[in-house]
């Protein structure tokens, strides 16, 4: 059920924001700070934060926490890490810290303002209409402006099957499962040339594997 609804059926708001990830949250935060407008946020997840809700457990921001999030609330405390690979540098928030942060923005700023209605576990359909993924109940928003905060279309490996064929007998897992299988094999092959693959390699090294036990398949241009 919607966390704070204007009653089933018609929802009144100036803006309809589709997506409660970093983009939709930052937009709504600025609207609250700079205007008197009202906002309805619709999102498929059970809490704000977007793709961070499905991220692998060992992911962190790749930038100092203070540079991420909404304008009105700082993420982190400008802590400088004293140990580990980030020693001497500003803290990098974990995904659970980021989800907790966005939840606090929602619970402590957006909803108490009385100007934001939040509809988690809801799917935007079309033409200002959305429906609850739990009850199937339909809603329509009387908003002049629709803000599509799904535009980035972030897709992480746990959201889709591999885009290549996997031989029988080979276990192919998304990085989300890596902590559960990290001690089970002599050799690991990491596929992909981005931050996720780098994080997977570093995670395995941190678990005590030797570099010889890890192969990394990545495009030449990476
Ligand atoms: C592993 C990883 C690490 C990253 N690290 C950093 C970093 O360190 N710094 C940085 O600046 N950026 C980083 N990024 C980029 C990151 O994608 C952006 O910072 C930002 O979080 C993206 O937010 P978003 O709101 O655009 O997308 P999302 O987080 O994907 O949010 C979109 C939301 O839209 C919702 N949605 C989609 N379709 C519908 C629909 N029909 N109905 C209802 N809801 C819908 C989804 O449920 C989702 O909650 C990282 C990305 C990844 C994948």
Query: Is the beta carbon of 24 within 6 A of some atom in ligand 1?
Result: yes
Q: What is the number of H-type helices and E-type strands within the chain?
A: 4, 10
Query: Is the beta carbon of 65 within 6 A of some atom in ligand 1?
Result: no
Which CATH superfamily hosts domain 9-148? FAD/NAD(P)-binding domain (3.50.50.60)
Q: Per-residue pLDDT for 204 more than 80?
A: yes
pLDDT per residue over 79-89, tens digit each?
Answer: 999 999 999 99
Mean pLDDT, the chain, rounded, equals 94
Which atom belonging to ligand 1 lies closest to the Cα atom of 19?
34
What average pLDDT does range 37-46 have in this prediction?
A: 98
If we measure between CA atoms, which residue out of 179, 111, 116, 113 comes closest to residue 143? 116
pTM for the full model? 0.93
* Best of 43, 70, 132 for a ligand 1 pocket test (most atoms within 8 Å of beta carbon): 43
Cα–ligand 1 centroid distance for 114 (angstroms):
25
Which atom belonging to ligand 1 lies closest to the Cα atom of 196?
1
Which atom belonging to ligand 1 lies closest to the Cα atom of 154?
30
Cβ proximity of 131 and 137 under 8 Å: yes
Q: Say how far apart CA 71 and CA 30 lie, in whole Å.
A: 7
Strands 129-132 and 138-141, by their bridges, are antiparallel
pLDDT per residue over 24-37, tens digit each?
Answer: 999 999 999 999 99
Cα–ligand 1 centroid distance for 89 (angstroms):
25
Phi first, then psi, for residue 125 (nearest 5°) are: -100, -65
Which atom belonging to ligand 1 lies closest to the Cα atom of 125?
41
Domain ranges of the chain: 9-148, 159-216
């Amino acid at each position: 059920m919607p966390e704070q609804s204007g009653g089933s059926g018609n929802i009144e708001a100036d803006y309809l924001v589709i997506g409660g990830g970093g983009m939709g949250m930052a937009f709504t935060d600025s609207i609250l700070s700079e205007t008197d407008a009202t906002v309805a946020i619709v999102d498929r997840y059970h809490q704000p934060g977007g793709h961070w809700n499905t991220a692998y457990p060992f992911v962190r921001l790749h930038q100092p926490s203070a540079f991420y999030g909404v304008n009105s609330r700082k993420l982190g405390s400008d802590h400088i890490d004293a140990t580990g690979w980030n020693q001497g540098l500003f803290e990098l928030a974990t995904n659970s810290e980021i989800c907790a942060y966005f939840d606090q923005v929602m619970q402590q700023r957006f909803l108490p303002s009385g100007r934001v209605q939040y509809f988690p576990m809801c799917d935007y359909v079309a033409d200002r209409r959305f429906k609850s993924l739990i009850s199937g109940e339909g809603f329509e928003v009387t908003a002049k402006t629709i803000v599509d905060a799904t535009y980035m279309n972030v897709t992480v490996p746990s959201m889709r099957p591999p885009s290549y064929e996997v031989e029988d007998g080979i276990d192919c897992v998304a990085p989300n499962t890596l902590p559960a299988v990290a001690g089970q094999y002599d050799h690991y092959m990491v596929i992909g040339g981005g931050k996720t693959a780098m994080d997977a390699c570093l995670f395995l090294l941190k678990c005590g594997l030797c570099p010889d036990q890890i192969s990394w398949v990545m495009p030449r241009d990476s």
